[in-house]
């Protein structure tokens, strides 16, 4: 089960993010608030385990971040959070979802491929460490919206 994540949860969300990402990529509480304040943004989380932030603009959704703490990985939570974000995006009228993932991030790439995302672009040296980003996309049909 996932819960809606509101701005009041920003400190707890930041704590989770810091466990899942290296320090230079972790978002602090202020960044969480900024993200959740963006038009169309929403968050879903499982306390102490993982979170997803996304937003919907018109008919397109974007994953802003997805994180599962190391101790909770490979138990299906990443897939659950992504599915919940897809369902919420569909509910808000999105018909497609986009995201960026580091080319070297095999766990995340495997998760996204398993959920039907395919590469539609490449952003060279997109990340601060020089890594390339892949732009992935999938459509959101009614069949996946439940
Ligand atoms: C990517 C991440 C969210 C996956 O979370 P998770 O809860 O472990 O993922 P799940 O257990 O739902 O895995 C679903 C599927 O994804 C794939 N997968 C996940 N982790 C994997 C790994 N380490 N190696 C290979 N495949 C992996 C598998 O196909 C897996 O299904 P399976 O366990 O039945 O084989 C997690 O590793 C994470 O937080 N990483 C650091 C932050 C990050 O990279 N976020 C994404 C940024 S774009």
Write the CATH number of the domain with boundaries 3-144.
3.40.630.30
Residues with CB under 6 A from ligand 1: 20-21, 66-68, 73-79, 101, 105-108, 110-111, 114
Query: Which of 71, 74, 126 to mutate for ligand 1's pocket (most ligand atoms within 8 Å of CB)?
Result: 74
Would you give the distance in Å from CA 113 to the centre of its chain? 14
| Interatomic CA distance for residues 2 and 52, integer angstroms | 10
Are 65 and 51 in contact by the 8 Å Cβ rule? The answer is yes
| Interatomic CA distance for residues 123 and 42, integer angstroms | 25
CA of 82 to the centre of ligand 1 (A): 11
Q: Which of 66, 81, 61, 87 is nearest to 3 (CA)?
A: 81
Backbone CA torsion sign across 90, 84, 115, 18: positive
The 10s digit of each residue's pLDDT in 22-39 is 998 999 999 999 999 999
The two tokens of residue 113 are 């491929």
What does the pLDDT profile of the chain (146 residues) look like in tens digits? 899 999 999 999 999 999 999 998 999 999 999 999 999 999 999 999 999 999 999 999 999 999 999 999 999 999 999 999 999 999 999 999 999 999 999 999 999 999 999 999 999 999 888 999 999 999 998 644 44
- Whether this prediction's pTM lies above 0.85 is answered by yes
Q: Structural domain boundaries of the chain?
A: 3-144
């Amino acid at each position: 089960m996932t819960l809606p994540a509101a701005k009041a949860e920003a400190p707890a969300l930041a704590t989770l993010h810091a466990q899942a990402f290296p320090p230079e990529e972790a978002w602090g509480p202020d960044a969480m608030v900024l993200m959740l304040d963006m038009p169309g943004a929403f968050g879903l989380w499982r306390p102490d385990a993982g979170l997803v932030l996304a937003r919907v603009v018109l008919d397109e959704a974007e994953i802003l971040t997805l994180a599962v703490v190391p101790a909770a990985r490979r138990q299906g939570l990443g897939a659950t959070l992504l599915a919940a974000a897809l369902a919420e995006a569909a509910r808000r009228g999105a018909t497609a979802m986009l995201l960026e993932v580091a080319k070297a991030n095999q766990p995340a790439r495997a998760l996204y491929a398993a959920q039907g995302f395919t590469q539609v672009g490449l952003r060279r040296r997109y990340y601060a460490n020089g890594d390339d980003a892949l732009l992935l996309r999938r459509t959101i049909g009614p069949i996946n919206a439940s």
